């Protein structure tokens, strides 16, 4: 099973971008998406931005991730 996580592009440096996911920043390759820019919402898999998504979809996916991790705090 593959999992892509939602992220927001913070800055861009040529073929890479710094993105933020759940408060964590990471560097990802952005060569697979068209015309990326800071503020865009994307899906990230294995260090690559694989798709742009709209803000509503980002919020839904982000909320879902938070809900998933809430249940693991007591483990």
Q: Domain range for residue 20?
A: 5-70
pTM of the predicted protein model = 0.87
Left if phi > 0, otherwise alpha if psi is -120 to 50, otherwise beta: which for 17?
beta
On whether residue 43 sits in a domain, the answer given is yes
**pLDDT tens string 2-23:** 789 999 999 999 999 999 998 9
What distance in Å separates the CA atoms of residue 72 and residue 25, rounded to the nearest whole number? Answer: 21
DSSP lists the bridge partners of residue 49 as 44
59 band by pLDDT with thresholds 50, 70 and 90: very high
Per-residue pLDDT, averaged over 28-34, amounts to 97
On whether residue 75 sits in a domain, the answer given is no
Is the pLDDT confidence value at 75 over 70? Answer: no
CATH assignment of the domain containing 14: 2.30.30.140
Is the pLDDT confidence value at 37 over 90? Answer: yes
């Amino acid at each position: 099973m593959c999992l892509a996580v939602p992220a927001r592009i913070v800055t861009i440096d040529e073929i890479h971008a710094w993105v933020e996911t759940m408060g964590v920043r990471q560097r990802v390759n952005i060569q697979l998406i068209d015309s990326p820019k800071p503020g865009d919402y994307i899906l990230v898999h294995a260090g690559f931005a694989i798709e742009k998504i709209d803000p509503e979809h980002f919020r839904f996916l982000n909320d879902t991730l938070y809900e998933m991790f809430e249940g693991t705090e007591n483990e």
